[in-house]
Amino acid sequence: MRYKTVSIKDVCVFVGGSQPPKSVFVSESKPGYIRLIQTRDYKTNNYLTFIPIETAKRFCDKDDIMIGRYGPPVFQIFRGLKGSYNVALMKAVPKPNILNDYLYYFLKQDAIFKYVDRLSLRTGGQTGVDLDSLYNFPVLLPDIPYQQLVVDVLKSLDSKIEVNTRINSKLELLAKTIYDYYFSQFDFPDANNKPYKKKGGKLTYNSLLKRDIPVNWEVQSLDYIADLVGGSTPSRENEQYFSAAGIPWITPKDLSINITKKFISKGEVGLTEFGRKAASLTILPKGTILMSSRAPVGYLAIASNEVTTNQGFKSFVPKSYFSSAYIYYTIKNLLPVIENNASGSTFKEVSGSVLKTINTPIPPKSVVDKFTSQVIDIFNKQEVLEQENKKLSEVRDWLLPMLMNGQISFKSINKIKNQISHSLVNSKSNETFNNQLDIPENKRVFAKQVLGGKIVTQFKDDPNFTHIKFQKLQYLAEHLIEADLNLNYYFQAAGPYDNKFMHSIAHKFERSKWFKEKDYKFIPLENQPQIEGYYQQYFEPKSTILNSLFSLLATATEAESEIIATLYAVWNNRIILNQTITDEILIQDFYNWSSRKNQYEINQLTESLKWIKTNNLIPKGFGKEIKTAKAKNK
């Protein structure tokens, strides 16, 4: 392997952005417009901006290396957006002697950040990249084959991080959807386990909130659901107050770095016990919701362990029966109100006294408990994945400077690459690298029974859980996770139906001592706890999809389940047959299924199709076309 000692100016050029006038900005895409990329867009999609394409001067693609020119923090390295970029960004364009990905990782080194940050110019309170100094930074440049090997190692780690992040995004969407069903749409399970509002639950107008809420719900200020706790900073002149390994101490800057995550365990700096006492800081317990109250207002995170914060926070320590999950989403939903109540000339800030004037509806304990029980596993899974990403990032950042400085031989890198690839493929947590179900053919019948057992476990106490709802859940589950469990579905008046399965499942449950069916109800037997173990063995790679389905249909009626499953089936049939698909055609196919379908109104079908699309339950053409059974079925 050969190296050359060169400078950054020998391997790339930096191209600055351009700034169109704000008068041409619009917030929605339309023909003839292009997205204007700004530094903040790499952290949030809350500020989408578009400009006429003729006003755009500089362009970037998703793979381009983009650099934040101003700070703090200065010299942030970005990727992943396409559009026209403004003056706060510059693009690193590689020369032929360096791979684009290798340049990306080289620029992400902590050593370069510290070099740039130390030499950057300060203008009007902002630091700016000193390009002359940056161009002179030394580069130990290897040949292309070595560069590619380094890239392969680092990208394998980043790919796993990206996979975990995508899983967490889906879990977040699921948890937030459940919260909205309960506390925005008021379709929490009522005393009969039916959706409250949808089934006629009474609402009453509340003058404080200026909207309807369920009867018998109270309205209280935020300090009713949590204790509001501020923070502070010990004197920075005393070094004995600070320790990297000390008590976790969080600042708004830490939350800005943590913005894509839900949990936080520590910040860049910790405190000694002397420092904590000197600043009279309260130790906040695990599960506290941390909210930045200034510069800016509204960054949120949940404490993974005991922490303290600086004065830029108002933290919510849960009271009474209110869980961290409930308070997290309640505060998140109220952020627009909180931000509107912030004040200040230099920067906006919201005080504890102001937060105590913000009101929220108070659900009864039974509703909060039910919500918490539905999302707690989601929150736990998210925290585990975030911790895994943290460890993967630490491994990548530990390897990065050694790979760039030639401290690891070509042979050793190959070995590291193979070890990483092996661990990613075989890691149990790596569900999306190898997320296809691996069910032996001779186990498919039993796996189908296990899936049915999981469904019964989830829904046995649901008064809407009839044989029809059971069968429709089984059908949807098998098709959404693309599990070939000896598919044997045919037309039946109420929708897709597996006659053999439905006529044998109760006997199989009883033989396995899982459930006994009596009067169309399933009573758990002594071996029922075994189901979860088998379920994890066969279906863990698809558990996120299945949990989402079960949560979405938790309060669905028999009729709603029938409509959704039948619409899914006719849609799936058309994909298999490569036929035209429109909402109108799917509705006509639904009515053509059987005369039983005539009892449903068109608006029910339209709403159900919208629901299927909104919740990403769109068929993919998996399985076989459903036809009329050769023999008469029930």
Amino acid 251: pLDDT: 94
CA distance readout (Å), 502 to 361, 448, 450? 44, 11, 14
Q: For residue 357, count other CB atoms closer than 10 A to its CB.
A: 11
Q: Is 83 left (phi over 0), alpha (psi -120 to 50) or beta?
A: left
Q: Helices 365-404 & 543-552, crossing angle to 10 degrees?
A: 160
DSSP run (H or E) holding 297: strand 297-303
**Cα–Cα distance between 227 and 348 in angstroms, integer?**
22
Q: Residues 247, 283: contact at Cβ < 8 Å?
A: yes
Amino acid 125: pLDDT: 52
pTM: 0.65
- Token pair 């700034």 is found at 19
Give the distance, in angstroms, between the CA of residue 330 and the centroid of all CA atoms in the same chain. 17
Amino acid 244: pLDDT: 84
Q: Which residues of the chain have pLDDT under 50?
A: 124, 425-434, 631-634
CATH class belonging to 3-142: alpha beta
Percent helix, percent strand, percent coil in the chain, to nearest 5 = 45, 20, 35
Please, what's the b/e burial string for 371-389 (b: 16 or more CB within 10 A of its CB; e: otherwise)? bbebbeebbebbbebbebb
Amino acid 433: pLDDT: 36
Closest by CA position to 388, among listed 431, 449, 440, 446? 431
Amino acid 515: pLDDT: 94
Amino acid 430: pLDDT: 42
Q: Give the HSE-up count for residue 416: Cα atoms under 13 Å, Cβ half-sphere.
A: 22
Write the single-letter amino acid at 603. Answer: N
Closest by CA position to 450, among listed 518, 542, 381, 376? 542
Instruction: Give me the sheet containing 297-303, strands edge to edge.
Output: 226-229, 313-318, 289-293, 297-303, 263-264
**Cα–Cα distance between 16 and 317 in angstroms, integer?**
45
Closest by CA position to 628, among listed 569, 565, 567? 569
Q: What kind of fold does domain 218-362 have according to CATH?
A: Adenine-n6-DNA-methyltransferase TaqI; Chain A, domain 2 (3.90.220)
The domain locations on the chain are 3-142, 147-200+364-427, 218-362, 441-614
Give the distance, in angstroms, between the CA of residue 572 and the centroid of all CA atoms in the same chain. 27
Amino acid 633: pLDDT: 42
Write the single-letter amino acid at 514. Answer: W
Are 3-142 and 218-362 in the same CATH fold? yes
**Cα–Cα distance between 79 and 568 in angstroms, integer?**
37
Amino acid 587: pLDDT: 94
Please, what's the b/e burial string for 91-122 (b: 16 or more CB within 10 A of its CB; e: otherwise)? bbebeeebbebbbbbbbbbeebbebbeebbee
Amino acid 544: pLDDT: 82
DSSP run (H or E) holding 234: none
